[in-house]
Structures are given as structure tokens and as C-alpha cells.
Amino acid sequence: MGRMSPEQRKDLAVKVACYNTAAPELVFAALNWHTHPETRQKAADSIPPIVRNLLEAETELAALRGTVARLIVANDRGHDYNLGDLRQAVKDAGIDLTPEYTAADALARAQENEAL
């Protein structure tokens, strides 16, 4: 995946600031425009919100990668970070993993119950 530079993300953020993110229906409309001519206008209207989705994903990915890299380098240099530190650093970077934690916890509980 070709990643945007911080400057490109900043420039794009200015251009899509007035748009909300795209609902899944808009993403599908954009994807299906070539087979359903009647959806072309909706597909065209969906482009800025889809770009906003992509920008938010790029921004979150860059923050996550930077956070993980900083902790790994710090560990390599003698600091003793643990997964709790990673959780806090990710939270401090503005990334909310609550849905992922909830799903992982439910899976772990199910596996524990199967083992009994």
C-alpha cells in the first residue's frame, strides 16, 4: 500500500473537512456505479466521504505504526515496556480499540469455556 506523507494527509484533511465519513451504502454505490447507471450521481456524491474514510484510516495507521515503532525502539534501547504500556500509548495516540478489545475478550472467554 502506498502511504501518504504527513503533508499529503494534512492537505487532504483540509479538502475533506466539511464532509462526514461515508456510510457503507455509499461505498457500495461507488463500487457499483459502472453496472448500475442510475447510481452514478450517488456514486459521484460518495467520493468525498469515501476519501474522508481513507484519510482517517491512513491517519490512524500512521499513528499506530509510529506508536508501535517508538515502543519497540525504546525496548531495544533498554526500556521495559509491556502490553499495558502499548495499550496506553495507543490510547494516547487517539486510537480507540474498545470494539477490538471487546471482541477479543469474548473470543477468549469462549475458548476458556470450551476448555472446561
Does a structural domain hold residue 44? yes
Does a structural domain hold residue 1? no
Domain of residue 35 covers: 6-115
pLDDT tens, 2-33?
A: 888 999 999 999 999 999 888 888 888 888 87
Does this model's pTM top 0.85? no
As a residue count, the chain comes to 116
Contact call for residues 55 and 86 (beta carbons, < 8 A): no
Does a structural domain hold residue 87? yes
pLDDT-derived band of residue 1, with 50, 70 and 90 as boundaries? low
Q: State how far Cα 107 lies from the chain centre.
A: 22
> Cβ atoms within 10 A of the Cβ of 5, count?
9
Burial of 19 (0-12, 13-18, 19+ CB in 10 A): middle
Q: Enumerate helices (H) and strands (E) in the chain, giving the number of each.
A: 5, 0
Domain count of the fold of the chain:
1
H or E segment to which residue 57 belongs:
helix 40-76
Does a structural domain hold residue 98? yes
pLDDT tens, 65-95?
A: 999 999 999 999 999 999 999 999 999 999 9
